[in-house]
Amino acid sequence: MNKILEGDCFELIKDQADNSVDLIITSPPYADIVNYGKDISIKKPDEYVDWILPLFSEIYRVLKPSGSFILNINDNCKNGLRNTFIYDLISRNNKETKLKLYDTYIWHKMNGIPNGSKKRFRNNTEFIFHFVKDQKQLKFYMDRVLEEPAESYRNKKIKIRKTNKQVDSTGSSCDEFVEREVPLLVRPDNVFRFATAGASRDNTIRHPAPFNKELPEYFIKFLTDEGDVVLDVFSGIGTTGLPCKDLNRQYIGYELNAKYAEFSRKRINGEDTEQYVINQYDLEDNFIRSWNTITEIENTLGFDSHNHIEDCIRKGNKTSYGYKWKLEKK
């Protein structure tokens, strides 16, 4: 069972049965950042928490006791300062819903797009928050995500203290050590190193903020079993559904944007989605050539940002890099 339901997730989730979903993983519209379509309202940071918290209560209701809710989200800056609405969201969730914050992870976007500020470091990270219904019943398969140790530690012995205390009863340094072999596989750290979704940005829909397929795939592997139900309440172009199909999970996606919903159904069903090209025109509307992807344009012409051309396609901006760009059928 893989299905995409078109409509408002705040309403659609009310029809989902209690205790019926094993994993909810989603990346909601970020506050005040990008345009997700003319029918999708973008919330300001000061209204974001009030908007999304009722959905968290429904997520708690539909999760199984062994289930998890994985939230990928990021903050932003305004008037030169970092917004705090994400921290408000976590704090108010703990006070106003029954969802429990189990852990916090960081997504290191290995090919993130630099920001334009000369007074800020490059922002190549996003937050991933892990909520649960009952930590004692939580499904969590660590053995599926173990990693090889760093090369410098492989096939070596390390010294560790016999106790977990760094000082003895007198306050002096505790120097009782024992040698142990570094295991063949070790627990991963809490920083996930996925690329951004360059491939997804090059689909015919040009969703403004897709995440990499590897991100949902990772959590699906170690938090669910075959046949389990995975729900994405902001399904977008169905990226979460792709690994569900590959890993034999049942996928449900909610999506308000009709164009994204239609595209994701075709994408998950393996149907042809390459119906569009990016046509390049000069400033007098003379056709120059067609391109299959924005990455192809970047690599061939030496441009350095997806965003400029995406803005032409999504928002109807007139020009970018001295040309007009239009997403048109082949």
- Kindly state the tokens that stand for 113: 């797009």
pLDDT of residue 301: 84
Beta-bridge partner residues of 277? 328
The β-bridge partners of 35 are none
Query: 153, 81, 86: which is closest to 119 by C-alpha?
Result: 81
Is residue 304 very low, low, confident or very high in pLDDT (cuts 50, 70, 90)? low
Q: What angle do CA 54, 56, 58 make, to 5 degrees?
A: 75
Q: How far apart are CA 249 and CA 55, in angstroms?
A: 23
DSSP assignment letter at 119: T
Q: Positive or negative CA dihedral for 47, 259, 9, 127?
A: negative
Question: How would you class 26 by CB atoms within 10 Å of its CB: exposed for 0-12, middle for 13-18, buried for 19 or more?
Answer: buried
Both tokens of 35, joined, read: 């345009």
| Closest to 200 measured CA to CA, from 237, 232, 235 | 237
CA distances from 233 to 12, 81, 176, 255, 304 (A): 9, 30, 52, 7, 33
Across 17-31, 171-185, 209-223, least confident range: 171-185
The answer to whether 97 and 56 have CB atoms below 8 angstroms apart is yes
**DSSP conformational letter for 320:** B
CA–CA–CA angle 208, 247, 149 (5° rounding): 85
Tokens found for residue 68: 């998890």
pLDDT tens, residue by residue, 101-137: 999 999 988 665 555 567 878 778 899 999 999 999 9
State the pLDDT at residue 231: 98
Which pTM was predicted?
Answer: 0.75
Give percent above pLDDT 70 in the chain: 74
Name the least confident of 25-29, 159-163, 189-193: 159-163
pLDDT bin (cut points 50, 70, 90) of residue 98 is: very high
**DSSP of 131-169, one letter per residue?**
EES-TTT----GGGS-BPPPGGGTT-EEEEESSS-SB-T
DSSP state at residue 121: -
By C-alpha distance, which of 29, 104, 19, 18 is closest to 254? 29
Residue 171 has pLDDT above 80, yes or no: no
d(CA 113, CA 123): 8
CA distance 38 to 44: 16
> Mapped to the 3 state alphabet, what secondary structure does 7-36 carry?
CCHHHHHHHCCCCCEEEEEECCCCCCCCCC
Count Cβ atoms within 10 A of the Cβ of residue 98 and give its class: 0-12 exposed, 13-18 middle, 19 or more buried. middle
Nearest Cα neighbor of 204 from 101, 277, 302, 279 is 277
Domains identified in the chain and CATH numbers: 2-144+187-268 (3.40.50.150), 151-181 (no CATH), 276-329 (no CATH)
CA distance 73 to 308: 23
Residue 235 in this model has a pLDDT that exceeds 70: yes
